[in-house]
Amino acid sequence: MNIFENIISFGNDLLWSKVLIIVLIGLGLYFTIKTKFVQFRMIGEMFRLLGEGVGHTVDKEKKSVSSFQAFAMSTASRVGTGNLAGVALAISLGGPGAVFWMWLIALIGSASAFVESTLSQIYKIKDNEGYRGGPAYYMENGLNKRWMGIIFAILITITFGLVFNSVQANTIALSLEGAYGLNRLLVGIILAIFTGVIIFGGVHRVAKVSGLIVPIMAIFYLLIAIFVVIKNINLIPSVFALIFSNAFGLKEVVSGGIGAALMYGIKRGLFSNEAGMGSAPNAAATAEVSHPVKQGLIQALSVFTDTLIINSATAFIILTTSAWTKSDLEGIAITQAALSTHVGGWATAFLAIAVFLFAFSSVIGNYYYGETNIEFIRTNKSWLLVYRLLVIGMVLFGSVAKIQIVWDMADLFMGLMALINLIAITLLGKYAFDALNDYLKQRKEGKEPVFYQKNISGLKNVECWNEPVKEKI
């Protein structure tokens, strides 16, 4: 192991396992209680808003993004290799009990996702392409701490634009190598070219591509998963028993298996659904909505979509076979082997294509998070050009790098970024809680909620929620 690998490993052991898990669960519970379990009691409203967003046409002159497009763009980043390779990795390293902890972090973390995305809407700003915002913006405008926003902006640009994109590329290359024997360097070059074509097109091309790819790939993969579940319906009770027994069983307590299941379940769960990490708010801020809470609710729904549906589908596919027990398989190879057991050898090729679509949508979604945060630090075309070239370079690097290096890099930077964001949304949480109360009050009165700065007492440094000026007659 070289010096670089030692630094990554040390950082993960010291920061991630011992601190972030406690903070994530603790603050997730705090937000759940303060919002009176918003992620459960308003699930119907979430679907209503999503359906409303699908049919909503945005103002082309404003170049804004619809709520559904923002949902698709954030889901594009969430739904990726974490759902296929990440789930397999968690099960192989932490056992079936890791799946339970994935579910738990999604159920609790969706409240954190609601708070951070609502805040990103409150503190979003206008730009030439509509709106932009995210943690860096609410750190500057809400907390009056630009230095904190700059640190976060740097971390998210490195984490998503560079490190996470190398993870996505790594999984694509491994899956195509396993399915077709393709050279990983060749795959990396082709993927880098595709990435360049998309990211040089701007945020609206990112939103358009995400809105097209995400629903198609998710539905297609879920249809396969449903077929596998129905085919093995008699095994489902034993799968649930396996998950819960490994999460809480006496054997796991004695052997320390619960700790491994919890650690890997939460690590891979957070990598997959990103709740509280501070990434999805960047997409949420771009949406054109009448009230910040609308996008907060939609982003909470995105966490459920990612973990409770897509991750669970992958877990059931894997746990109804013995693929997860084979020491010679890792990551996406476990999922490929499991699916092949269920539907035949063609599954390896199918999953390679699915991985490409899942991961590529994540690449373009991740890219946008870096772009909007570079613009926060300084609007400079040269900086943006360098960033785009680095993104393309990291896609190429990830295609040929060792799997453990890229995943360890992801965990380290993800942990640093999440900690800073969680501190910020805890300090600003009261404004999200007040916004939720305002939304519910208007709904109770039979109104379609509309938000203005004056609706929340003490709210300052808000650019986009002033009352329209009435013309004098």
**Considering only CA atoms, which of 289, 214, 298, 282 is closest in space to residue 59?**
289
What's the DSSP call for residue 326?
A: -
Q: Which two tokens mark 268? A: 């891979």
**Considering only CA atoms, which of 351, 390, 375 is closest in space to residue 166?**
390
Helix/strand/coil for 132? strand
Contacts for 164 with CB less than 8 Å, ≥ 6 apart: 362, 366, 410, 414
Helix/strand/coil for 65? strand
Across 159-163, 292-296, 383-387, 409-413, the highest mean pLDDT is recorded for: 292-296
What distance in Å separates the CA atoms of residue 335 and residue 82, rounded to the nearest whole number? 12
Q: Which two tokens mark 466? A: 């002033």
Global pTM value = 0.80
Q: Which residue has the tokens 């519970």?
A: 29
- Distances in Å between the Cα of 208 and the Cα atoms of 20, 132, 197, 312, 360 are 34, 17, 14, 27, 14
What distance in Å separates the CA atoms of residue 119 and residue 392, rounded to the nearest whole number? 31
The whole-number pLDDT of residue 255 equals 41
CB burial of residue 256 (10 Å; 0-12, 13-18, 19+): exposed
The whole-number pLDDT of residue 253 equals 43
**130-132/125-127 β-pairing:** antiparallel
**pLDDT-derived band at 336, boundaries 50, 70, 90:** confident
What's the DSSP call for residue 60?
A: T
**pLDDT-derived band at 10, boundaries 50, 70, 90:** very low
**pLDDT-derived band at 383, boundaries 50, 70, 90:** confident
Q: Which two tokens mark 445? A: 């009165």
CB 300 within 8 A of CB 436: no
**pLDDT-derived band at 333, boundaries 50, 70, 90:** confident
CB 155 within 8 A of CB 420: yes
pLDDT one-digit tens code per residue, 19-78: 777 888 889 999 999 999 999 999 989 888 877 655 555 454 455 566 666 666 666 555
CB burial of residue 301 (10 Å; 0-12, 13-18, 19+): buried
Q: Report the amino acid identity of residue 68.
A: F
- The reply to whether CATH 1.20.1740.10 applies to domain 11-444 is yes
Instruction: Name the more confident of 260 and 242.
Output: 242
pLDDT over 80 (residue 432): yes
Q: Which two tokens mark 239? A: 């799968």
The whole-number pLDDT of residue 141 equals 94
- Distances in Å between the Cα of 374 and the Cα atoms of 127, 250, 283, 389 are 14, 49, 14, 14
Percent of the chain with pLDDT over 70: 78
pLDDT over 70 (residue 431): yes
- Cα 442 vs. chain centroid, distance in angstroms? 30
pLDDT one-digit tens code per residue, 90-124: 787 778 888 888 888 888 889 999 999 999 999 99
Q: Which two tokens mark 314? A: 């992958």
**pLDDT-derived band at 441, boundaries 50, 70, 90:** very high
Per-residue DSSP letters for 20-53?
IHHHHHHHHHHHHHHTTSHHHHTHHHHHHHHHHH
**pLDDT-derived band at 16, boundaries 50, 70, 90:** low
The whole-number pLDDT of residue 430 equals 95
Q: What is the dihedral of CA 303, 131, 391, 405, to 10 degrees?
A: -30
The whole-number pLDDT of residue 113 equals 92
Poorest-pLDDT segment among 62-71, 395-404, 446-455? 62-71
Written in H, E and C, the secondary structure of 386-448 is HHHHHHHHHHHHHHHCCHHHHHHHHHHHHHHHHHHHHHHHHHHHHHHHHHHHHHHHHHHCCCC
pLDDT over 70 (residue 208): no
Q: Which two tokens mark 59? A: 């103002």
What distance in Å separates the CA atoms of residue 234 and residue 256, rounded to the nearest whole number? 30
Poorest-pLDDT segment among 33-47, 228-242, 358-372? 358-372
Rg (CA), the chain: 21
132 DSSP β-pair partners: 125
| Mean pLDDT score of the chain | 79
What distance in Å separates the CA atoms of residue 367 and residue 362, rounded to the nearest whole number? 8
The whole-number pLDDT of residue 404 equals 67
